[in-house]
Structure 1
């Protein structure tokens, strides 16, 4: 590890412009300079990007696994291997996400996170945990285990939060009895409340937003759109997320969960400043197609991976994403027609703001963490740098 790193001869994507022939200087894990031209930096380790793009590291705020591992496997090694796997695809920060489970399995996962964070040096940075469930609408459960789905219980969620200080966000269905109180409580603890796996209509979501729910979890997936009740039409969760201008959304931009027209629609209505790209990846991300397991190895759901997505064995439904961050960016450009800088914004500065880490991450500015990714015109990752350390090099990986 060198104390000074110089990255030059690249197209630097800043929040304001693309610097056509730029240099970034990194010192002690922080960005020291971002300048045009090839500047002299004595005693630096030099990376000549040969005209490639230099961007902020990708931030994945909703991810379950990769490389054959799942965060619910119940051990620190799974966290570390997933972080290393996704670093190969440009991810420099991630928010590990749980599945609905038995309480003891949740506590084991939180304990494993604490262990892994102490050893987290070779892959993407672990920012904190995202609890997805168990407070969901049963008929919008998706691949979540129905045995553990229930209404919010103050004794339960207060106990969970008393045991762990690593929870950054918690997703729930806001129409459930007790869900508004739940949202208020977790926001009082500085935890992001998100709408997910829900049958809520516009009025439910608006009340939830007014009481702290500020993000729609994997928009369109496991939530209703326009619905009918006693012959009357009601706007659903999807429409509510569009109508509430200040509500953020995240989307699985794998091109399968959301096809091109829906990617275009989300971009048109919410824009890059309110839309975060997420992988929502399961253990099969970064692995060959074939049989896999969604959730923990000991009692997870058997799935088959084909056509770039995980499906139930009978192929009646999707069962999870196998996306990687580079694929999300590529799809927003190629399928949705989004300009490169805005596609990058959706996986860097926007998720950084949503998770409250924008002071240190999400853009290439002096003083911020040196989380940097280098890629070509096809968004093929060349180098991934976390806190100034090279954690992935395509050239070295090919040796």
Structure 2
């Protein structure tokens, strides 16, 4: 009955949401009123909507993004979907807290250097890594190094020493590649040369120096001793030594960009994906802020986990495509409403695939505006991320 409806002001008062917030969530298709007065446009809400409004207010307090709020409120009872959204958000919050601790440790060091410039000098940190693992890591990330002269910070490989791992990172804003290498302390090195827990040690190694290091590693036998600090990078392997200056820039915070919450994962042979991407039709579309055209392919994973690679159609759908092995047929039918699609730069995707060893890959899709992750089973710290290309409506 209409007499049981709450006005927007009453719902705001009883739920803890403001009137403007309720209007926003109506426009965002999150919490629509039960009735809107056709003459005045005034919103009225059913009694049962109070519980949703109160839940929405709490989700908002913990910073859950709009897509997550919509997923929680729309989750089927007993499906567990709402809890999965909350668990993923909690992981993001915990990761953000870890990043904040790391940044505060660095800020404290910078403050110490600023307040005591004559007595505080950047420490050099020495450590060893397996040569073969370092060679594989460089091979896995080199393709993503940026080449834009206007962004010199991206023209190298970040060597980020974090506890017992050396993480290599490269990005050109449209793609990102990461790889991890276990580290040790050189024999005879003082313990002080190992980084303190939680204190970041990093250097941006210029692309030319990274390439020289890769050539020096050769087949990757033995161990490599590296030293980072004081704006310099030094590498010693098999009696040979190279060194150079690190790039004097602050590298972007890559950790926030790699906290992905994939909706669907699909495993397949790397060779099958490479063949499907290379043979599938594409469409030339502008990509990036400079409007440069690129060949775009759309990857679609249906409810059964079958992957199809197709060209984006003019209406935002896909033209006939090529399927991969494992039950996917080339251009077979129209994917169902729950299929996930992501459009990517075809050439970038092909460049990312050789970085993985022969065998199987795992693709992680989160939807048309979420990055595509390309992972190698058994190597969780080595993967690539491709930014999606927005398709025309």
Q: TM-score, normalised by structure 1?
A: 0.21
The structure, 1 or 2, with the larger RCO (C-alpha pairs under 8 Å, 6+ apart) is 1
Select the structure that is richer in helix: 2
